Amino acid sequence: MYTCEYLVDFTRSFFVKMGCSADDSQLITDVFLAAELRGIPSHGLMRLKDYYQLWKANRINVKPNVRIVHETPSTAVVDGDNAIGMIAAVRSMEIALEKGSKAGSGWVSTRNSNHYGIAGYYALMALKKDMIGMSMTNANPQVAPTFSVTPMMGTNPIAVAIPAGNQPPFVADFATTPIARGKLVVAEKKGEKVPYGFVQDKDGNPSNDPAILRSGGSMLTLGGDYEHGSHKGFCLSAIVDIFCAVFSGANFGPFVPPSVAYLPVLEKKVGEGTGHFFGAMRIDAFQPADVFKAKMDEWITTFRAAKPAAGREKLIIPGDPEREKEIRFWKEGIPLLPAIARDLKEIAGEIGLEFEVKE
């Protein structure tokens, strides 16, 4: 177990060593730690090595000039100047919140960015301002549209955070695929098969092989197969891609740049970098804030009272599991897999820092 303090200090120092400003390093650290605390380690410190290697390869800009390039009272396009994703994303979400506080709602599409960590972080930023927050990103292609075998899209997540009153907020944060890529890696390492509906082989036949992506296979969209509505998952993933990339002028679909340095820069580009989309709506743009919050409390308690299925304790309100983990990890410390800790020690040594591996 690591204390939050230890990981915060280390991560912040690491980005300062990479040349980020103190403020930027703190922001990036906040997002990484939020992923660890909320139990989404696939977007946590496991990724630090990828960011570091992109920087070493001169593929990411640690002194970016993130700026608005086009705007209306309720919308903007932001150019991230090839920043580390968190920097472009936090600035963009701040602009969405500012526009939202004036115009009722604010919507920002961001180009020329990179991997931004957990989508939920930016949606959550809205809550303390009594606003509804939204966040989406496109990502490097590994998912095939229904009836196709070409990996055209990333796992393109959507996050929506909605404030409540006495109840904790509603926080949805989900990929538009049945599973995260990480589940395939874990199954493969364990030598296990996966259920049908997660991946297909190179010809589009159903597959239960978690390693199938290495032999031309692809991940499937939410729904799994056409019969179960995978074309609806494709709609969602496509909407995320268009809002993030066509709106902003980022690369879309198969042209989204890799978020790891061991994959080469793509030959063709159709825009600038990776794209994100952010939204912010004031709750009192619709109802007086206290009325809105009381109604959300009623919504949440109504849904909590639904009868559980046989063998299940209760239904899950979106945001509950992550919040429970956040409280626990904050108190008990954050577990890192030994392999991740060893990676961190290695790159720490390279950059002139120390990291303690606790086996």
Residues of span 159-188 touching a copy of itself by CB under 8 A = 160, 162, 170, 172, 174-179
- 278 contacts a copy of itself (rule: CB under 8 A): no
**Does 314 interact with a copy of itself (rule: CB under 8 A)?**
yes
Alpha-carbon distance of 131 to 160, in angstroms, equals 11
Among 86, 296, 334, 340, binds a copy of itself (CB under 8 A): 296
Asked if 286 is part of the footprint of a copy of itself (rule: CB under 8 A), the reply reads: yes
Nearer to a copy of itself, 17 or 232 (CB): 232
229 in contact with a copy of itself (CB under 8 A): yes
Which residue from 65, 306, 352, 359 is in contact with a copy of itself, where contact means CB under 8 A?
A: 306
CB neighbour list of residue 102: distance below 8 Å, 6 or more residues apart: 73
Q: Is 39 in the site for a copy of itself (CB under 8 A)?
A: no
Q: Are strands 105-113 and 131-137 parallel, antiparallel or unpaired?
A: unpaired
- The gap from C-alpha 235 to its chain's centroid, in whole angstroms, comes to 19
Q: 52-111: which residues touch a copy of itself (CB under 8 A)?
A: 70-75, 77, 102-105, 107, 109
- Residue number, 257 or 318, with CB nearest to a copy of itself: 318
The yes or no reply on residue 267 touching a copy of itself (CB under 8 A) is: no
Phi then psi dihedrals of residue 124, to 5 deg: -65, -25
Collect all residues with Cβ–Cβ distance below 8 Å to 58 and sequence separation of at least 6: none
In the complex, what is the shortest distance from the CB of residue 249 to a copy of itself, in angstroms, rounded to a whole number?
6
* Look-up of token digits 């998912």: 143
Cβ distance to a copy of itself smaller for residue 197 or 257: 197
The only residue of 34, 127, 152, 348 in contact with a copy of itself, by rule CB under 8 A: 152
Restricted to residues 3-32, the positions that interact with a copy of itself (CB under 8 A) are none
Closest approach of Cβ 146 to a copy of itself, in Å? 7
- Decide if residue 224 touches a copy of itself (CB under 8 A): yes
User: C-alpha 246: how far from its chain's center?
Assistant: 19
Tell me how far apart the alpha carbons of residues 311 and 187 are, in angstroms, rounded to a whole number.
25
Edge to edge, the sheet with strand 67-72 lists: 67-72, 75-79, 105-113, 274-282, 131-137, 158-162, 170-174
- Cβ 184 to a copy of itself, closest distance in Å? 14
Which is it for strands 199-200 and 67-72: parallel, antiparallel or unpaired?
Answer: unpaired
Nearer to a copy of itself, 9 or 298 (CB): 298
Number of residues that bind a copy of itself (CB under 8 A): 89
Q: How far apart are CA 210 and CA 180, in angstroms?
A: 12
Q: Which residue of 214, 312, 354, 359 would you call a contact of a copy of itself, by CB under 8 A?
A: 312
Closest CA to 222 of 211, 209, 232, 210: 232
Q: Which residues contact 121 (CB under 8 A, 6 or more apart)?
A: 30, 31, 34, 35, 86, 89, 135
Distance between CA atoms of 244 and 312, rounded to whole angstroms? 37
Q: Contact between 228 and a copy of itself (CB under 8 A)?
A: yes
Tell whether residue 309 is a contact of a copy of itself (CB under 8 A). yes
For residue 344, give Cα distances in angstroms to 14, 48, 339, 355: 10, 8, 9, 7
Rank residues 30 and 320 by Cβ distance to a copy of itself and give the closer one: 320
Residues 237-256 contacting a copy of itself, CB under 8 A: 238-239, 241-242, 245-249, 252-254
Query: What's the closest the beta carbon of residue 232 comes to a copy of itself, in angstroms?
Result: 4
Buried b (16+ CB within 10 A) or exposed e, 26-44: ebbbbbbbbbbbbbbbebb
325 or 345: CB nearest a copy of itself? 325
Q: In angstroms, what is the minimal distance from the CB of 285 to a copy of itself?
A: 4
- Closest distance of CB 103 from a copy of itself, Å: 4
Instruction: Concatenate the DSSP letters of all residues of 234-289 into one string.
Output: HHHHHHHHIIIIITTT---GGGPPPSSTTSPPPS--SSSSEEEEEEEEEGGGTS-H
Among 34, 144, 213, 347, binds a copy of itself (CB under 8 A): 144
